[in-house]
Structure 1
Amino acid sequence: MTALDRFDGARVVVCNWRDLKHPSKGGAEVFCHQVAEHFARAGAQVDLLTAGSEGNAAQETMNGVRIHRLGNALTVYPRALLWILRRRQSIDAVIDCQNGIPFFTPLAAAKRTPIVCVIHHVHQQQFGLYLPRPAAWLARQLEGRFTRRVYGRRAFAVVSPSTRTDARRVLQLRGSIHVTPSGIERPDRPAQQRAAAPRLVSVGRLVPHKRVEILLEALPEVRAALPGVRLDVVGDGPARPALEQRASELGVDDIVTFHGFVSEQERRRLVADAWATAITSTSEGWGLTVIEAAALGVPAVGLDVPGVRDSIRHDETGWLVRDPSALAPALVQALERMGDPERRARISERAERWAAGFSWLTTSDLLARCLLAERDRLGRAGADRRGGSDVGIRIEIPRHRVDLEQVARVARRTDRWTADARAVTVLLPGADETTATAVLHRLGLPPEDVMMQVARPLDFMLGNDLVVV
């Protein structure tokens, strides 16, 4: 039995600003639906509360998830709270997805209902790009001060260590913060070979904070070094007309194709055809498009900003650039490396191996673990004694010394582990060396027989082998 299996028969409510049929859907909606569907497959009764959009029914069932579209982008918040309040005694768990502003579900749910608030990234700087000054100020207060007050020590789940850092430093959240990386669907590699000439691809919504103009402004220098280069821009949004105008002003409109929204199959074909993908956002919660490209063997070049620095392993699965002025040379270098068949094979293999560690089943199971840990805390049964520290201990145990079921028996809800032929790697979030030594004692292992070290941010991206919990 996995953590997800423990929700068989439970009623789980998921709140998200938009759903997959919303015209402005993005990575947060993919995350929300994938998690909701995995809980439904495990036997949970899942209700998704979201805003309505033109042409979509007020109620609908998709892949076992009952969708309730309640009002518009603003009224969905009070209407979702009222919906929960009326059914609070029948709700077993809540996944409250924050898209800049959370749903403040602790105000409506029963006191001991476990709630996990999912944060993809912190929006404090972005509000000013989209809202008038008074509205941006109010949004910052709702994301920061009001969230701290309403959620208190409730649990949070973030998609990357960078988001966890911002949640503590910028939002000053007090509850436990668990890193639950986004998954990906394992793609089928398109049949064709990569493009013969150097080709870049950029995938994502065309909105101001994605800063695709930075990529366009790098192209003249890239073309001077690699005359055959082309760029495919996949996605649409309000910034598209300005970006097309900017490409024309720079004289690169002949080598840039704006594809708009395309089918999943076509998007994968365009990514697989590329030599590299580029990402120039101000920040991301987690570079989902980076991992999707890596799964197809395509490395990424991105600015060294929160989220992107978590999804790109510098000089292994791609390259991080500290300043936009250095983007063009970095792109040229990446394309030249990918032009060498031997180097391309090595880089692609590392990218695919990195992407293979992420799945929606793992993401959903980790969220289920967070909910179970929160239920224990609220019920004072098996409460977490490690405290709310964001550090942790990483342990590597020789494979022949332990099996995963042993680890599962001594681990707490949100510990993580995975194994290969050489070792079992265990991550103990919130632990220090004393706590880790106690875990080893319960496993019957002396500390000198294992490798123990303070966990790095990368270690918090460790997945779980799904075994009995």
Structure 2
Amino acid sequence: MRIAFLNWRDSTHPEGGGAEHYAETVCRGLVARGHTVTLYCAAHGDAPASETVEGVHVRRQGGRLGVYAASTRALRADERAHGRYDVVVDVQNGVPFLSVLSTRSPVVSLIHHVHREQWPVVFGPVSARIGWLIESRLSPRAYRGRQYVAVSERTREELAGLGVDEQHIAVIHNGTDEPVALGTARRPDPTIVVLGRLVPHKRVEHAIDVLARLRPTTPGLRLRVIGQGWWHDEIAAHAEQSGMADDVDLLGFVEDGVKHAELAGAWLALAPSVKEGWGLCVVEAASHGVPTIAYTNAGGLSESIVHQRTGVLVDDLDEMTHEVARLLADHEAREEMGAHARDYARQFTWSGTVGAWERLLLHTARGKAPVAMTDAQSLTVRG
């Protein structure tokens, strides 16, 4: 198949994160299975406008908002020059590309999570209302009758609440990167880790607040934050204002080997985000036997964490603080939970994710009706 992916950013973008890792891993996996894949995404810095990375053709054009029109123009131009794609994957990160208006190729809408809670966190009241109107009203109408993909059952439920036909939504989970065999032991001092982009809705400040509450009674306690983003200075300022600047390590972007070493050395992980589609950070920590504590009503985190088995789901900051204190003090409970987390993470493989996508895209490219499957298990490659 010739496949197009429209994604807001790619992983080389300074604000790239889990959604970009998901898209690129699927793209590379499809290329490895013999398909031709083009990824359309935003331009940034000195990144070339066009290049081929691990077999994936990457086309960068447009900025934060201009990427939508620029990518669909490039899509139309490429289809005029080389013929229609067999299928187009339109990744909606709050704002849709509306590729259904630009191509006659079958379109699949991939949605990691619904942004109801994020709009007012990141934007002012007027922009937030406009954004939510586009996401909740315009988009479901534009993609009505098309195949949807969600990355968790929670996202599928939320899409259905917006009026999307639940029988048109397949669920294809994230995979888990194979953990690097580093032989890294847990740090001798109690260590909490947060992994993710530094943006407001990730609420890294809550992890700092937990640290501030527990540091007086937990000698040596540290917080290590892995990730970069435009909210870095605000997080650093919050650590300073909380008196925790000396106990918080903002590590920024790190290479994969360093990331795995940091996760393997942590005692606990926190995911205080407002909303996640799945929670790639959770299963990455779990692959090293590190349980995560997150909020119950944060979308897919209630699925990537099995409550009180692979991690803990809490309702507020007070409860998060209590559970962190409990698990830091109980080595046996923490290690048992970590072992269950590691076993759970092993169920989610990128090869399984890519295989599910291949089956679903072949199904869609043949003009067949949208389906509701978990990981597209019952679809066959034969046709």
8 Å CA contact 1:301, 1:334 repeated in 2 = no
Return the alpha-carbon distance in structure 2 between the equivalents of residues 209 and 319 of structure 1.
20
Return the alpha-carbon distance in structure 2 between the equivalents of residues 66 and 35 of structure 1.
13
Deviations 1:308-345 (CA, angstroms, capped at 9, x unpaired): 111111111111111222111110112123x23xx454
8 Å CA contact 1:157, 1:367 repeated in 2 = no
Which is further off, 314-323 or 70-79? 70-79
Offset of residue 129 of structure 1:
2.4
Residue 218 and residue 44 in structure 1: after superposition, are their counterparts in 2 closer, same or farther (change >3 A)?
same
Residue 414 and residue 264 in structure 1: after superposition, are their counterparts in 2 closer, same or farther (change >3 A)?
closer
**Residue 365 of structure 1 pairs with residue 355 of structure 2:** yes
Return the alpha-carbon distance in structure 1 between the equivalents of residues 382 and 339 of structure 2.
32
Q: Which residue of 1 aligns with 2:325?
A: 332
8 Å CA contact 1:189, 1:296 repeated in 2 = no
Q: Larger Cα Rg: Structure 1 or Structure 2?
A: 1
Q: Which residue of 2 aligns with 1:414?
A: 376
- Tell me which of 68, 75, 79 is aligned to 1:77: 68
Offset of residue 296 of structure 1:
0.8
Normalized against structure 1, the TM-score is what? 0.76
**Residue 210 of structure 1 pairs with residue 202 of structure 2:** yes
- Tell me which of 30, 36, 40 is aligned to 1:45: 36
Q: Which residue of 2 aligns with 1:19?
A: 10
> Which residues in structure 2 correspond to 1:11-410 (within 5 Å)?
11-86=2-77, 87=79, 89-110=83-104, 113-169=105-161, 171-174=162-165, 176-304=168-296, 305-337=298-330, 339-340=331-332, 343-376=333-366, 378-379=367-368, 383=369
Instruction: Quote the RMSD (CA, aligned, Å).
Output: 2.3
Q: Which residue of 2 aligns with 1:421?
A: none
Offset of residue 104 of structure 1:
1.2
Return the alpha-carbon distance in structure 2 between the equivalents of residues 11 and 354 of structure 1.
34
Which is further off, 196-205 or 221-230? 221-230
Return the alpha-carbon distance in structure 2 between the equivalents of residues 350 and 228 of structure 1.
27
Return the alpha-carbon distance in structure 2 between the equivalents of residues 77 and 244 of structure 1.
32
8 Å CA contact 1:114, 1:372 repeated in 2 = no
Q: Specify the code of the residue in structure 1 equivalent to 2:349.
A: S
Deviations 1:337-384 (CA, angstroms, capped at 9, x unpaired): 3x23xx4543332111111111222112212222233345x35xxx57
Deviations 1:89-118 (CA, angstroms, capped at 9, x unpaired): 4311111111111211111221xx332111
SS at match of 1:269: helix
Q: Specify the code of the residue in structure 2 equivalent to 1:351.
A: A
Residue 231 and residue 107 in structure 1: after superposition, are their counterparts in 2 closer, same or farther (change >3 A)?
same
Q: Specify the code of the residue in structure 2 equivalent to 1:106.
A: V
8 Å CA contact 1:115, 1:371 repeated in 2 = no
Offset of residue 302 of structure 1:
1.1
SS at match of 1:325: helix
Q: Specify the code of the residue in structure 2 equivalent to 1:47.
A: T
8 Å CA contact 2:197, 2:228 repeated in 1 = yes
SS at match of 2:186: coil
SS at match of 1:254: helix
RCO comparison, higher one (Cα < 8 Å, 6+)? 2
Number of residue-to-residue matches in the alignment: 378
Residue 216 and residue 345 in structure 1: after superposition, are their counterparts in 2 closer, same or farther (change >3 A)?
closer
Return the alpha-carbon distance in structure 2 between the equivalents of residues 274 and 194 of structure 1.
6
8 Å CA contact 2:180, 2:257 repeated in 1 = no
Offset of residue 468 of structure 1:
7.4
8 Å CA contact 1:11, 1:44 repeated in 2 = yes
SS at match of 1:219: helix
SS at match of 1:90: coil
Q: Specify the code of the residue in structure 2 equivalent to 1:15.
A: L
SS at match of 1:153: coil
Q: Specify the code of the residue in structure 2 equivalent to 1:61.
A: T
SS at match of 1:316: coil
Return the alpha-carbon distance in structure 2 between the equivalents of residues 268 and 36 of structure 1.
23
Return the alpha-carbon distance in structure 2 between the equivalents of residues 19 and 324 of structure 1.
33
8 Å CA contact 1:57, 1:69 repeated in 2 = yes
8 Å CA contact 2:5, 2:91 repeated in 1 = yes
Question: Tell me, which stretches of 5 or more residues in structure 2 are unaligned?
Answer: none
Which is further off, 269-278 or 172-181? 172-181
Q: Specify the code of the residue in structure 1 equivalent to 2:53.
A: M
Offset of residue 282 of structure 1:
0.7
Which is further off, 343-352 or 43-52? 343-352
Return the alpha-carbon distance in structure 2 between the equivalents of residues 251 and 41 of structure 1.
50
Return the alpha-carbon distance in structure 2 between the equivalents of residues 193 and 125 of structure 1.
38
Return the alpha-carbon distance in structure 1 between the equivalents of residues 334 and 116 of structure 2.
39
Normalized against structure 2, the TM-score is what? 0.92
8 Å CA contact 1:59, 1:66 repeated in 2 = yes
Equivalent pairs: percent with the same residue? 33
SS at match of 1:103: coil
8 Å CA contact 2:6, 2:90 repeated in 1 = yes
8 Å CA contact 1:11, 1:45 repeated in 2 = yes
SS at match of 1:201: strand
Return the alpha-carbon distance in structure 2 between the equivalents of residues 166 and 120 of structure 1.
11
SS at match of 2:245: coil
